[in-house]
Structure 1
Amino acid sequence: MKRANGIDIGGGRRGSGRSVVVMAAAAVLIVITAIVSLNTGFIRLSPVDVLRTLLGTGTDQQSLILFEFRLPRIVLSILAGAGLALAGCILQSVSRNALADPGILGINAGAGLMVVLVVAYFPGNESISVYALPLLAFAGAGAAAAVIFALSYIRGKGLSTTQLILSGVGVSAGISAAMLVLTIRLDPNEYQFAALWLAGTIWGTSWTFVKALLPWLAVLAPLLFIKACTLDVLTTSDETAIGLGARLSRERLIVLGSAVALAGACVALGGNIAFIGLIAPHLARRLVGPRHGALLPVSALLGGLLLVAADTLGRSLLQPEEIPTGIVVAVIGTPYFIYLLVRMRT
C-alpha cells in the first residue's frame, strides 16, 4: 500500500475485504443481540412467541410488549450507540487524543444540563418536548464544547491534548454540580426522571424517540462518511494537513460540529451514556486500522452493538429490578479507560 507523508493513499483489497467481514460480523451480532433482547424482560417471551408476534399471530399482550416497548428501546439503543461511537471517533481523530470521548470531555454534561432545564422549567406535552430536546441538547453540548476547546488552545502551539482532557473534566464537573443544584427544585416525579437520566437509563421506550433521533443520524452520519478522507488528513500534523490542501479551520468546524450534534441528540434521547465513544472507536481501530473509510462505519456498528448489549444485560441481570445502562457501560468502560491511561504513560 502506497503512503505519502504518513497517510495511506492506496486502496488495498486485503484491507477492504477485512473491513467488509468485520462490518458483516458486527451487523450479525447486533441482530443476534436484538433477538436476545426481545426475549428479555419482566414478562418473558419465548423465541417462538417472538417469531409469532413478528409474523402477526401473537396475542394482543405480546404485540404490545414487543412493538410498543421492547422494539423501540432496542432500535433507540442501536441508534444512540452508533451516534455516540461516531462522535467519539471524530473527537479522537481531530484532537489526536486517544482518551477523547463526549462523556469525558463534558459534551454530554452540556447536553444533559439542557435536558434537566427542560424537565425543571418546561414540563409539557411529551411529543413536543421530545422533538425539541435534540436541538436544545445540541445548544448545550455546543456551548460546552466551545468552552473546552477554547481553554485547550494554546497560542502558537495549537490544541493541547493534555489540556483538552483537563478542561473537559473541569467543565464536566462544574456542569454536573449545576445540574445537582437544579434537581433540588424538582418535584418527586421530575426528580426521579432526572436521576434515572443521569444514571444512564435508556428512557425512550416509544417510537416517538426513535423518530426524533433518526433524522440526526440520517443527515450527519453520511456527512461524516463523506468526510472520511478529510479526517485521514486531519489526524496528521497541521503542517502536513495544510500541505495536502486541507482547510483546517473549516473542516474541523464541520466535523466537530457534526460530532457535537450527534452526541447531544443521542444523550438527550438515549440517556447519560459515557464511554461508548471511547471504547467503540478503539476496538474498531484494532480491527480495521486507522483509515476512516472503514473506521467510521465499524465504530458505528460496534457502538450500537455495545449499547444494545449493555441495555440487555441491565434489564436481565437483576430482574425484576433494572440496572441503568449507563452503569453497565461504566463498569466496562472505566477499567478500559484506566488501561489506556497506563498505556499512554509507558
Structure 2
Amino acid sequence: MNEAVFHRKRTLRTLITLIILVLTAFAVLLISMNTGFTKMSPLEVLRTLFGGGTPRDELVLFQFRLPRIVIALLVGMGLAVAGAILQGVSRNALADPGILGINSGAGLAVVLFVVTNPMRESASPMLLPVLALVGAFAAAAGIYLMAYKKNKGISSSRLVLSGIAMATGINALMIVLTLQLDPNEFNFIATWQAGSIWGSNWKFVVALLPWIIVLLPAALWKARQMNVFSLGDDTATGLGSYLNRQRLLLLVIAVALSAACVAVSGGIGFVGLLGPHIARRLVGPRYEHVIPVSALIGGVLLLVADLIGRTLMDNSEIPAGVMVAIIGGPYFLYLLARSRT
C-alpha cells in the first residue's frame, strides 16, 4: 500500500477514535452529574446548568460534583500522557509513573507537608503541585542514578526494576510515618494511598489546569522525537537526534505531569499503563496519534472509575484508584506474561 494512502487512513482512524472518545467522555460526564448521594434528575441537572436550579441543586452540582468530575478528567489525561512518554523514552511497555515510583515520590512530599503543617487548611492549593514536583524529581533522580551504568547508559529493564525498588522503599517509609500519626492524619494518608480524588473543589482545578494546558501540548510537540526513540538509540543518534538532551526533556515533562496530578488525586496507578496500551491498539504506534488518544482514554477511564466508586455502595465510597487497580492489576499480569514469551 502506498505510504501516503496508509498515513491518511491512519490519520482518519485516529480522528474517528478521538471523536468517539470525546462523545464517550461527554456521556460519562453527564451521567456523573446526575449520579451521587443527593439525587438529581437529568432535567434538574440541565436546568441548574442554565441557571434555573434551586440553591440546593446549584450547591450540589457546582460546588461538589463538577469540580470532582473536572479533576478526574484532567488527572486521567495527565497520567495517561505521562505513561505514554515514559514508555516511549524507555522503550518498555511496563513503564508507568506509578510503577516507576514517580507518583510515590510526589505523594511523599505532599503527605509530609500535610501531616507536618498545622496550617495546611489555609495553605494555597497552588503550593501542592510544586511540592509534588520536588518529590517526583527527587524520586526520578534516584531512579536515574540507580538505572545508569557507565559506558552503557540506561537500559529499560534496569529503569523499571529501579523504579519498582524506589516505589517500594518510599511506600515503606510512608507506612512508618502512619504509625506515628493521629487517627485523622492516618485516615488521610490511607485514603491518599488508595487513590482518592481528595482535591475536589475549584481551587484544585485552578491549581492543576495550567500544568495540563502547558505540558500536554509540549508532549504532543515532542511526539516525533519519541517515534525516533522507538528505532533504538543507535539509529536515533544516526538520524541526528540529541539523544540524552531529548530524553531528559521528555522525562521532565512526564515527571511534572505526574507530580501535578498526584498532588490533587493521590496515588492512582495503572492509568499511565492502560491508556497508552489501549491507544496503540486503536491507532498504531506513532506518538502523534498515541498521545491525544491516550489522554482521552485516561480521562474516560478515571471518570468511569470515580463514578463507579461513588455509586457502587450506598453508604460508603470506593476510591477511584482502587477501581482502576481492579482493572489494571490483571492487565499488568497479562503484559508480564506476554513479555516472557
Give TM-score, length-normalised by structure 2: 0.97
Alpha-carbon distance in structure 2 between the residues aligned to 1:10 and 1:179: 53
Whether 1:115 and 2:110 are equivalent positions in the alignment is yes
Distance in 1 of aligned mates of 2:335 and 2:122: 41
Distance 1:61 1:271 in 2: 29
Which of 70, 78, 83 aligns to 2:73? It is: 78
| Alpha-carbon distance in structure 1 between the residues aligned to 2:321 and 2:175 | 18
Output the CA distance in 1 between the equivalents of 2:159 and 2:288.
Answer: 26
* Separation (CA, whole Å) in 1 of partners of 2:268 and 2:73: 13
Quote the residue 1:260 is aligned against.
255
Instruction: Rate the CA distance shift 1:254–1:10 in 2: closer, same or farther, 3 A.
Output: farther
Aligned counterparts of 2:114 and 2:199: Cα–Cα separation in 1: 15
Is the contact made by 2:77 and 2:299 (CA closer than 8 Å) also made in structure 1? yes
- The yes-or-no answer on 1:18 pairing with 2:13 is yes
Matches within 5 A, 1:327-342: 327-342=322-337
In 1, Cα distance between the equivalents of 2:138 and 2:334? 30
Q: Report the 3-state secondary structure (helix = DSSP H, G, I; strand = E; otherwise coil) of the residue aligned with 1:130.
A: coil
The aligned residue for residue 159 of structure 1 is 154
1:197-240 superposed Cα distances (whole Å, 9 cap, x missing partner): 11111112210010000010111111111111111112221111
Higher mean displacement: 189-198 or 103-112: 189-198
User: Structure 1, residues 275-312: CA drift from partner, whole Å, max 9, x if none?
Assistant: 00000000000001111111100000100000011000
Residue of structure 2 equivalent to 1:101: 96
Aligned counterpart, 1:319: 314
Counterparts of 2:122 and 2:20, CA distance in 1: 36
Letter in 1 for 2:260: A
Q: Give the equivalent residue in structure 2 for 1:251.
A: 246
Query: 1:127: how far off?
Result: 5.7
Summarize the alignment of residues 21-60 of structure 1 with structure 2, pairs less than 5 Å apart: 21-60=16-55
Letter aligned with residue 182 of structure 2: D
- Alpha-carbon offset, residue 128 of structure 1: 3.1
CA distance in 1, matches of 2:114, 2:267: 15
Amino acid in structure 2 at the alignment position of 1:250: R
**Residue aligning to 2:196:** 201
Instruction: State how far apart, in whole Å, the 2-side matches of 1:294 and 1:123 are.
Output: 46
| Contact 2:195–2:267 under 8 Å retained in 1 | yes
Moved more, 142-151 or 259-268: 142-151
Amino acid at match of 2:287: H
User: 1:106, 1:169 within 8 Å by CA — same for their partners in 2?
Assistant: yes
Displacement of 1:126: 3.7
Choose which of 273, 277, 290 in structure 1 pairs with 2:268.
Answer: 273
Q: Which runs of 5 or more structure 2 residues have no equivalent in the other structure?
A: none
Task: State the number of aligned residues.
Answer: 341
C-alpha displacement at 1:178, in angstroms?
Answer: 0.9
User: In structure 2, how many angstroms separate the alpha carbons of the residues matched to 1:53 and 1:29?
Assistant: 22
Alpha-carbon contact 1:120-1:183 (below 8 Å) kept: no
Q: For 1:12, what is the secondary structure of its paired residue?
A: helix
Are the counterparts in 1 of residues 114 and 120 from structure 2 also a CA contact under 8 Å? no
The AA in structure 1 aligned to 2:295 is A
1:214 and 2:213 correspond: no
Q: How does the TM-score come out when normalised to structure 1?
A: 0.95
* Greater alpha carbon shift after TM alignment, 245-254 vs 189-198: 189-198
Aligned CA-pair RMSD: 1.5
Tell me how far 1:319 sits from its aligned partner.
Answer: 1.6
After alignment, is 25-34 or 123-132 more displaced? Answer: 123-132
